[in-house]
Amino acid sequence: MNYSWKGNIRQLRNITEQLSVIEQERNITADTLKRYLPDYSVGFPALIDHPVSGSDFANEREILYKVLFDMRNDINDLKKLTHELIEHDHTNVQAKENAQHLIQKIYGSDEVEIISPQKKEVYHQPKQDDFDEGFQDAETIDEPLSLQEKEYEMIKKALERNNNKRKLAAKELGISERTLYRKIKQFDL
């Protein structure tokens, strides 16, 4: 029997173990062995080398022309959309006037006139007294800004929450017990 083994050594060992466990007959024949060997006859499809012809380039060229044509249509749509957005935005007159050079750049040499809105909107400015109704002054709490003070407070609170059990406090703080012991000694807790 001529067989090219394409697997690794573990697969070969597994097949021999299967043979020794499952087969009743101690004398293994080629037919018996074939039943256990994997079928590697299913292969990959063969690659056939085609000569490059002019028609292949024509197909690619057609695809490129189609992509370019679609991009041109998309750009024209974006130009229209941008112009409509700027034209219908009546809230910011200054921004519209500043966008004149952008519109000229988008449309090229075409002259585009920006129409300013006719109506003006008036906004009510709330008085300071309007804000004071129904609110109380907030209490300002001074918190320490140094890292050592924050570290001290966090360790102290973790120990209090865990009834001075250092193992639980260290786990809560996300540090090792040894680091917590060192910090406790450092801060004289």
CB under 8 A, 24+ apart: contacts of 29-35: 30/1, 33/1, 34/1
pLDDT tens-digit series, residues 35-69: 888 776 656 566 666 565 666 677 888 888 888 88
Does residue 1 sit within a domain? yes
Does residue 90 sit within a domain? yes
For residue 33, the model assigns a pLDDT of: 83
Distance CA 75, CA 81 (A): 10
State the total domains in the chain.
Answer: 3
Judge whether residue 98 has pLDDT over 60. no
Q: Helix-strand-coil percent breakdown of the chain, rounded to 5?
A: 60, 0, 40
Does residue 45 sit within a domain? no
Provide the Cα torsion 161, 163, 168, 174; round to 10°.
Answer: 40
175 confidence band (pLDDT: 50, 70, 90): very high
Q: What percent of the chain stands above pLDDT 90?
A: 17
pLDDT tens-digit series, residues 2-32: 777 788 888 888 888 888 888 888 888 888 8
Question: Could you tell me the CA-to-CA distances from 33 to 3, 21, 22 in Å, in that order?
Answer: 11, 13, 12
Does residue 14 sit within a domain? yes
Specify whether 34 is located in the same domain as 60. no
Does residue 136 sit within a domain? no
Judge whether residue 82 has pLDDT over 70. yes
Residue 23 sits at φ, ψ, to 5 deg, of -75, 135
113 confidence band (pLDDT: 50, 70, 90): low
Tokens of 108: 């090229």
Tokens of 56: 């292949």
pLDDT tens-digit series, residues 155-165: 999 999 999 99
Specify whether 60 is located in the same domain as 103. yes
Give the range among 2-11, 86-95, 102-111, 178-187 with minimum mean pLDDT: 102-111
Does residue 167 sit within a domain? yes
Specify whether 66 is located in the same domain as 103. yes
Judge whether residue 136 has pLDDT over 90. no
Tokens of 20: 């020794």
Tokens of 149: 């003070």
Domain that holds residue 164: 147-187
Does residue 112 sit within a domain? no
Identify which has the larger pLDDT, 128 or 39. Answer: 39
Question: Could you tell me the CA-to-CA distances from 36 to 12, 27, 172 in Å, in that order?
Answer: 10, 15, 56
Identify which has the larger pLDDT, 146 or 45. Answer: 146
Does residue 139 sit within a domain? no
User: Of 46, 36, 51, 45, which Cα lies nearest the Cα of 3?
Assistant: 36
**b/e for 85-107, b at 16 or more Cβ within 10 A?**
ebeeeeeeeeebeebeeebeebe
Specify whether 60 is located in the same domain as 96. yes
